[in-house]
Structure 1
Amino acid sequence: MSQPRRHGPSIRRQLLQPLLWIWLLGTAAAVGGAYLLARNSANAAFDRSLQDEATALAAKVVWSDRGPLLDLTRQARELVTWDTEDRNSFAMVDADGNVLAGDATVPIPPMRNRKTFEQPVLFDAEYENEPVRGAVFSVASPMLDRSVSIVVVETTRKRNVLVRDIQLGIMLPAFALGTLTFVLLGWGIRRGLQPLREVAADVARRDAADWSPLPLQQVPAEAVPLIERINMLLADVQQSVSLQRRFVADAAHQLRTPVAGIRVLAQELEQELLALPQPAAGDLPWQPLLQQLLRSSERLSRLIGQLLSLARSETALSVNAEQVPMDIVPLVRESAEPMVLQGLREGRSVALDAPDEPVVARAHPLWLGEVLTNLLDNARRYGGQHIVVRVRPLSGGGAEVQVEDDGEGVAPEQLGRMFEPFWRGERADLRNDGGTGLGLAIAREIVERLGGRLDVSSRPSFPGIRFTVRLAA
């Protein structure tokens, strides 16, 4: 099944295709004109030569008592038949068509045309199974009532060669000029469209958060309205995204106070209830509900904190000056230490594998720490008993940080969704792990803002799950 065309024909094609048809039609007309011009020019030259030969031979006719004689010397005969490329021949015939001198096999045209007495008349015929062109010129006796005709014929070989040479002399320069014209047109069109390709390359190189207007200095005048409209759309999108970020940040900031109040009130309520006289059996039916309220408030507080981190990371890392080359090993160690202590309390092991020498990469100390904290928290909540953090320098410069665990992993078809906001896997509603579904989305956002990459691999290529952060130098 054929795929629908994603775009219309190119500008180059739309410009060159009509010119190509014009050139083809012009070439066909030139070929026809060149053939007619060559044929007419060659025929005119050779026909004039035939007529001159017939006139010259007619001047050699001598009238005597015995009749007409053709007074030709040996040199004159050789001049008539000297050409080795064309076959030339002649004959002198009387009014009845009888050959009186010359070649008896020369084709004889009808002699009833009175014009042959005024000037040589041309005709076409065949001579020894080959097409020939001939001229006949008739002369009359000044005293006798008799006339003879001089017939001169020659083959058309040299005519055809001359026609071909003239055609080639016209067509080859025309073809070369047409080809050169199309090459120059293609080059000119490509040069004219180069600013548009540069604009496209500029857009491809841009960061996802770069909404600055596209340059107009080198753009062709015809494309300026399009680029201006794109710049207006970029401005509208930037404003819309800024409003959304501001709304998320403001909403999260406004929610922090009441959520913190709920937590404080729930803790005070728990203390007051514990201070009351307790039943003898020691059964506290209100305690599970209150504990659930505290966990829910903590989760809501964490979600609000993650939303604030996401909103701040989308704007704080847009300035490259905040990103500097640094040794990331101390930063990784600092981020992993709290997780080590928490893992020991939960019966898990968190190991750091880092070289003794510095590993330098371009990073931001605050936000790279946020990335590692989120990745380690994800491993603690959903991974296995063993968590390993590895730091390695890259051969071309930069660094690589891996956070891996030996848990159940994620199905291959779900790996692409792990960085979607609020996605927590299948039946996340049945879990009570305190996760928000924003940690990995925040981590990827920060890493990309730092100019790096965050990849994930799981079973079957890796037993468990592994997150790999690659940072540039």
Structure 2
Amino acid sequence: MTGHTANPRRHGPSLRRQLLQPLVWVWGLGLAVAVVGALWLARTATNRAFDRGLQDEVSALASRVVWSERGPLLDLTRQAMELITWDQADRNAFALVDLDGNALAGSAEVPVPHAPMRREARGQPLLFDDEMQGHAVRGAVFSIMSPMLDRMVTVIVVETTQRRAETVRELQISMLLPAAAMGSLTFGLLGWGIRRGLQPLRDVAAEVSARGPQDWQPLSLMRVPAEAVPLIERINRLLDDVQQSVAVQRRFIADAAHQLRTPVSGMRVLLQALEQEMAALPLPAADAGWRPILQQLRGSSDRMARLIGQLLSLARAESTLTIDADLVSHDILPTVREACEPLVLRALAAERQIALEVLAAPGQAEPSSVVARMHPLWLGEVLVNLLDNALRYGGQHIVVRVRAGTVVQGGGAEVIVEDDGPGVPPDQLPRLFEPFWRGERADLRNDGGTGLGLAIAREIVTRLGGTLEAASRPQVAGMRLTIRLQG
């Protein structure tokens, strides 16, 4: 048998991640290509500029070579020579050499290219790399021929590469910083664009979350991306199917309960007639046999009649409160008193007690009215069900507390029905409002309950826009049911 993982994935990766991940790869690759290209372009452009300067310099020096009876001479003033060789960052030098590589003018430390290169440099300057006094240098060589003596001399100009490297570095930095800023901005705009594109889906999710459990209206297609329209339309069709299915179930429950009322009422009439006839018969010895049977039949018929009545109440609550609940602000105290009055008499007959308390805010007098948005008929139905539940399963003392809107945050009202009975075990408390749930071994109890009272109460309170919550031991002394209504 294979085991289950502790935290199984309930869904795939987010759509934002699926959209962003390939774009991040493309963005990263493009950024890398841009960075490499910027580095290469900065190095190439800088080297070309410096090389062009060397070629111009060697060409200029070659133009100053004059031929005399003593041989070739470099016609330069002292100031011109100092200007050529002076530089704060680099060491520059030049030389004029003959065909054998002997220096005729300039610095003897200047590296001399090999003879084939010097011959090749006739008519155009050539570039080369070498070393001078342990430093890497870049040089240009230009050979010229004597117009009459058929003699060749070569002009060589070299410079160290420190300033060239610094210029390359500065240019690379000046190109990389805007590229990095633009890349970061592009990445941010990419994430913002994806988030903005997915916002309509989040709006749909927020709309669904804000809806009540009975709101099956179609979701709006406004601002929904075209790619998500088929999904929203399918959800709308599903909502419509659910609404129709629930409507069919409600009609079935209402029709079934309505149809069952007639035979159950007839059964109760027949039982009463049978009981009267049996009592009129001279059968005193058989009393012990038929009376318990008739009592069980009467109890079963009463329970069936109560179940049918509650099913009808549930069906009417669902249909009426869905169509028009007439939710306006009312003083709930008359409704609470009216709902409690018949049950107070029932409690007194059973030697039990129901008390009504109206609570006020600290430092204030007891309010004469407690206003909340509700429907008087259905709030009374809720209170009857809660008090009936307390009389069936609670203790000797039952208290109904009403709190004004000044106590409840946000206004409205709070109605609490509390008893000192055994309550419900904590592990069974979440099932308290399930239809037909009556606790463990309900089949052994003959309390006349149907398991629908609390389910109907929560359904009505929810449709009134409020909440119904339960608490039991050890949090409270017995069982507490709290109704919260909006202001």
- 3-state secondary structure, aligned to 1:412: coil
The residue number in structure 2 matching 1:336 is 340
The residue number in structure 1 matching 2:363 is none
The residue number in structure 1 matching 2:474 is 460
Aligned residue identity for 1:199: V
1:431-458 deviation per Cα after TM superposition (whole angstroms, max 9, x unaligned): 0100000001001101100111111111
Distance in 1, Cα, partners of 2:455 & 2:30:
63
Distance in 2, Cα, partners of 1:347 & 1:142:
142
5+ residue gaps, structure 1: none
The residue number in structure 2 matching 1:371 is 382
| 1:300 and 2:304 matched | yes
Alignment check: 8 A CA contact 1:31 1:167 kept: no
Alignment check: 8 A CA contact 1:126 1:132 kept: yes
1:105-125 deviation per Cα after TM superposition (whole angstroms, max 9, x unaligned): 333221332112222211012
Alignment check: 8 A CA contact 1:387 1:406 kept: yes
5+ residue gaps, structure 2: 359-365
Distance in 2, Cα, partners of 1:77 & 1:42:
25
Q: Aligned in 2, Cα 1:460/1:103: closer, same or farther, shift over 3 Å? A: farther
1:325-346 deviation per Cα after TM superposition (whole angstroms, max 9, x unaligned): 1111111111112221111111
The residue number in structure 2 matching 1:396 is 410
The residue number in structure 2 matching 1:437 is 451
More divergent stretch after superposition (442-451 vs 258-267): 258-267
The residue number in structure 2 matching 1:109 is 113
Alignment check: 8 A CA contact 2:111 2:131 kept: yes
Alignment of structure 1 residues 259-278 onto 2, 5 Å: 259-278=264-283
Q: Let me know the Cα RMSD of the aligned residues.
A: 2.3
Alignment check: 8 A CA contact 2:20 2:194 kept: no
Aligned residue identity for 1:451: G
Q: Aligned in 2, Cα 1:356/1:341: closer, same or farther, shift over 3 Å? A: farther
Aligned residue identity for 2:304: L
Shift of 1:35: 3.0
1:168-226 deviation per Cα after TM superposition (whole angstroms, max 9, x unaligned): 45444444444444444443433333332222222212121111212223322222222
1:216-261 deviation per Cα after TM superposition (whole angstroms, max 9, x unaligned): 2332222222222211111111111111100001000111111111
Alignment check: 8 A CA contact 1:92 1:151 kept: yes
**Match for residue 36 of structure 1 among 7, 21, 40:** 40
The residue number in structure 1 matching 2:422 is 408
| 1:249 and 2:254 matched | yes
Alignment of structure 1 residues 48-63 onto 2, 5 Å: 48-63=52-67
Distance in 1, Cα, partners of 2:32 & 2:229:
40
- 3-state secondary structure, aligned to 1:117: coil
Q: Aligned in 2, Cα 1:321/1:445: closer, same or farther, shift over 3 Å? A: closer
| 1:446 and 2:460 matched | yes
Alignment of structure 1 residues 61-210 onto 2, 5 Å: 61-63=65-67, 67-113=71-117, 114-142=119-147, 144=149, 146-210=151-215
Shift of 1:19: 3.0
Aligned residue identity for 1:123: F
Q: Aligned in 2, Cα 1:37/1:279: closer, same or farther, shift over 3 Å? A: closer
More divergent stretch after superposition (413-422 vs 345-354): 345-354
The TM-score, its normalising length taken from structure 1, stands at 0.93
**Match for residue 433 of structure 2 among 416, 419, 432:** 419
The residue number in structure 1 matching 2:361 is none
| 1:233 and 2:247 matched | no
Aligned residue identity for 1:160: A
Shift of 1:271: 1.6
Distance in 1, Cα, partners of 2:218 & 2:31:
47
Aligned residue identity for 2:356: L
Shift of 1:60: 3.4
The TM-score, its normalising length taken from structure 2, stands at 0.90
Shift of 1:316: 1.1
Distance in 2, Cα, partners of 1:96 & 1:421:
114
**Match for residue 29 of structure 2 among 25, 29, 44:** 25
Aligned residue identity for 1:343: A
Aligned residue identity for 1:256: R
1:61-108 deviation per Cα after TM superposition (whole angstroms, max 9, x unaligned): 455565544443221122112331222122233333333433333332
Distance in 1, Cα, partners of 2:178 & 2:374:
64
The residue number in structure 1 matching 2:49 is 45
More divergent stretch after superposition (39-48 vs 230-239): 39-48
- 3-state secondary structure, aligned to 1:123: strand
What is the number of equivalent residue pairs in this alignment?
A: 472
- 3-state secondary structure, aligned to 1:344: helix
More divergent stretch after superposition (326-335 vs 61-70): 61-70
Distance in 2, Cα, partners of 1:2 & 1:59:
86
Distance in 2, Cα, partners of 1:340 & 1:279:
38
Distance in 1, Cα, partners of 2:287 & 2:261:
34
More divergent stretch after superposition (117-126 vs 410-419): 117-126
- 3-state secondary structure, aligned to 1:342: helix
The residue number in structure 1 matching 2:229 is 224
Distance in 1, Cα, partners of 2:301 & 2:343:
22
Aligned residue identity for 1:311: A
More divergent stretch after superposition (183-192 vs 206-215): 183-192
1:32-84 deviation per Cα after TM superposition (whole angstroms, max 9, x unaligned): 33333333322222112111212222333455565544443221122112331
| 1:15 and 2:15 matched | no
